[in-house]
Amino acid sequence: MSRLIPAVERIQRARGLIQKAHDLPIPVDGGRYNFSYIAQVKAFLQDARDLVKFIPKTPSATAEIKAQVSQVFLEADQANQEILLKKKVD
């Protein structure tokens, strides 16, 4: 049986996954359009969302925790935009 992970730790882990998506090196072959790269970025961001998605539904979730969860969702969406959709000049 898995252990219960506190909400604060889940939020920290989710932010860590978002940072991992940012830190993922852009491959030489295909650049940002490499399917493997896109899949890895999307997987990190989806895992971050999945870690926190049920926190607001728990009875012990405070307004502050709920605000942090919504911030994580915004950060994940923003990371998706920055990593995959914007054309950066390298």
The answer to the question of residue 7 being in a domain is no
pLDDT of residue 9 exceeding 60, the answer is yes
**What confidence score (pLDDT) does residue 2 get?**
66
19-67 tens-digit pLDDT: 999 999 988 888 888 899 999 999 999 999 999 999 999 998 999 999 9
**What confidence score (pLDDT) does residue 81 get?**
93
pLDDT of residue 89 exceeding 50, the answer is no
The answer to the question of residue 63 being in a domain is yes
Domain extent, residue 26, equals: 15-85
The answer to the question of residue 10 being in a domain is no
When divided into structural domains, the chain yields a total of 1
The answer to the question of residue 1 being in a domain is no
The answer to the question of residue 90 being in a domain is no
The answer to the question of residue 6 being in a domain is no
**Residue 1 — very low, low, confident or very high, per pLDDT cuts 50/70/90?**
low
The answer to the question of residue 23 being in a domain is yes
Burial call 12-47: b when 16+ CB within 10 Å, e when fewer: eebbebbebbeeeeeeeeeebeeeebeeebeebbeb
**pTM higher than 0.85:** yes
Q: 40 near 24, Cβ under 8 Å?
A: yes
The answer to the question of residue 34 being in a domain is yes
Residue 84: count other Cβ atoms within 10 Å of its Cβ: 15
pLDDT of residue 90 exceeding 70, the answer is no
